[in-house]
Amino acid sequence: MELALTQTQNQSRVIVPEYYEGDLNKNHFIEANTNSVTLEHLTNDTILPVFSKDNEVTISHAEFINATQEALRNVFPFHQQTAPNIRVSHIIKGRVPSAIGKQKSELLDEDKTIYYERMAFVIGLPQIQQEVNGNKLSLVVGGVRAYNNENLYSRKSIEKFKVFIGFSNFVCTNLCISTDGFKDEIRVSNKNELVSRITELFSSYDQDKHLGNMERMSKFFLTPEQVAHLLGKMKMYQFLSNARKKELFPLNINDSQINTIAKSYFKDDNFKVTTEGVVNLWQLYNLFTGAVKSSYIDSFLQREACAYEFIQDLSNSLQNEESNFFLI
């Protein structure tokens, strides 16, 4: 597979107000197998893959972020943006042709090339804040690009991106993403199409509905026995037949993350069980979103959205007094 130099330039001037900067970045929005990089690094220090059969360049990680910034300016023209918080994983290393014969120990920095197979980012709009169940939330947008989802050994084809708009909880940077604010797969062939599709998502997002549903979560409580039953049923779900799973809510969470939820139920500084022995669904939701931060870049957004829909399903069952496989 051939590679091309990244030529994208950052066209967006962003500002991070003092009152916001420390809050958004004190914890990572995703934790598993990722490193922090800057947009300047992606723009100036990395190469990017091309479609090998026709040497057509892909949309770079930096262009994706620039497209999201442009879409934000389209939809929120009078609001400041924070600098993108970028996490990358699965580094692909190479070397320039002149360094082919060198030993590894002899390589200079200018001999080396890199790009990142997977990238996720978040951009905040610090002027749009709400308080939900005693927690300060701020509007954020972001996305994921994973080159492993593209067939780079073929001719240029439609490229795939994941994009969301939602909120970040200040106390833990957990993302609050609803399915209405998340596109699991945007398929485009160029940057202009990407800007248009992202703008469409941001414009259609129902912020009030999302906030109202999260506020409602605090109205419903689970006893320790119900939480124990819930966690047990979540573990059992993974071993059910496919036919049985189709009858139930499609839970997208692994065994390790279920264990993290159980541990955080007792130990999380912000959302652990109360001294009265109960936990509300807002607390439980944040235990879920905290646990799925351990997911790989190319799956964590789906799990964030699934966590929201799962707690919504529990809320509906409790409100309507309906039976639910995961509850007693």
Would the pLDDT of 22 be above 70?
Answer: no
Confidence class of residue 161 from pLDDT cuts 50, 70 and 90? very high
Alpha-helix residue ranges (DSSP H) falling in the chain: 18-25, 39-44, 61-75, 191-204, 207-217, 224-237, 242-245, 255-267, 281-291, 297-320
Give the single-character DSSP code of 101: T
Average of per-residue pLDDT values in the chain? 89
Q: Tell me the mean pLDDT in the region 123-145.
A: 95
Confidence class of residue 14 from pLDDT cuts 50, 70 and 90? very low
Confidence class of residue 27 from pLDDT cuts 50, 70 and 90? low
> Which SS3 state, helix, strand or coil, does residue 49 take?
strand
What was the pLDDT predicted at 5? 41
Q: Which residue has the tokens 């300060």?
A: 136
Confidence class of residue 25 from pLDDT cuts 50, 70 and 90? very low
Under 8 Å between Cβ of 86 and 121:
yes
What was the pLDDT predicted at 13? 42
Would the pLDDT of 9 be above 50?
Answer: no
pLDDT tens track for 38-55? 999 999 999 888 888 888
Q: How far is the C-alpha of 197 from the C-alpha of 194, rounded, in Å?
A: 5
Would the pLDDT of 19 be above 80?
Answer: no
Give the single-character DSSP code of 92: E
What was the pLDDT predicted at 26? 52
Map out the domains of the chain as residue ranges: 3-205, 218-320
CA dihedral 224, 229, 230, 234 (to 10 degrees): 140
Confidence class of residue 18 from pLDDT cuts 50, 70 and 90? very low
Would the pLDDT of 328 be above 80?
Answer: no
Confidence class of residue 179 from pLDDT cuts 50, 70 and 90? very high
CA dihedral 249, 250, 255, 257 (to 10 degrees): -90
What was the pLDDT predicted at 21? 43
Q: Which of 25-34, 48-57, 176-185, 292-301 has the lowest mean pLDDT?
A: 25-34
Quick one: what percent of the chain has pLDDT higher than 90?
A: 74
Q: Which of 4-8, 194-198, 210-214 has the lowest mean pLDDT?
A: 4-8
pLDDT tens track for 55-107? 888 999 999 999 999 999 999 999 999 999 999 999 998 888 888 888 888 88
pLDDT tens track for 272-320? 998 888 999 999 999 999 999 999 998 999 999 999 999 999 999 999 9
Confidence class of residue 8 from pLDDT cuts 50, 70 and 90? very low
Confidence class of residue 2 from pLDDT cuts 50, 70 and 90? very low
